[in-house]
Amino acid sequence: MPQASLVAIDGKLYGTTIAGGTNNCGTVFVVSQTGRESVLYNFKGSRYGDGAIPQAGLIAVNGALYGTTSSGGSGGCYDGCGTVFMVSMTGKETVLHSFNGSPSGAGPEASLVAADGAMYGTTQRGGYDVGTIFRVSQ
């Protein structure tokens, strides 16, 4: 179930689904110019330290895709507090940050912004229960 905006790179469209995939934790997908869709990455969820439920759109920086998941990761929330992730064009995923609730935040649901060699975003929860603004290096 795609929910966020798409990003176009070299004539292909990349996006996320908030559910589905082999683990029902969401996917990163690509659609070719001919309309052929394929899954680039299947999220696994918090049991694996991975993210789950990517609700925000992706951004492309230096030939890789970056985004957030609103749950999963290795943080302290019941089902994980969310992650910032990178997916290569070959489908290798790397968790750059796992949120842990307070003080780092939880539940990022907005797209990242790239600036000054870093990525910035917001969380809806955590901090002092009013969310946070965060910075993650690339």
The domain that holds 45 is classified in CATH as 2.40.128.630
Give the number of residues written for the chain: 138
* Selection from 96-100, 102-106, 119-123 with the highest mean pLDDT: 119-123
Q: How many domains does the chain have?
A: 1
pLDDT in tens, 57-89: 999 999 999 999 998 887 667 677 889 999 999
CA dihedral 88, 107, 4, 21 (to 10 degrees): 60
Q: Is residue 70 part of a domain?
A: yes
**How far, in Å, CA of 106 to CA of 75, rounded?**
9
Asked whether residue 17 carries a pLDDT value surpassing 70, the answer given is yes
| Dmax (CA) of the chain | 48
Q: Is residue 90 part of a domain?
A: yes
CB 88 within 8 A of CB 37: no
Q: How confident is the model at residue 18 (pLDDT cuts 50, 70, 90)?
A: very high
Say what the pLDDT of residue 127 is. Answer: 75
Say what the pLDDT of residue 64 is. Answer: 95
Q: Can you list the positions of beta strands (E) in the chain?
A: 7-9, 12-17, 27-31, 37-42, 51-52, 59-61, 64-69, 71-72, 83-88, 93-98, 113-115, 118-123, 132-137
Buried/exposed code over 12-32 (b: 16+ C-beta within 10 A; e: otherwise): eebbbbbbbbebebbbbbbee
pLDDT in tens, 113-131: 999 999 999 999 887 778 8
Q: Is residue 2 part of a domain?
A: no
Q: Is residue 118 part of a domain?
A: yes
**How far, in Å, CA of 50 to CA of 62, rounded?**
22
Domain of residue 77: give its range: 7-137
Q: Average of pLDDT values for 42-59? A: 88
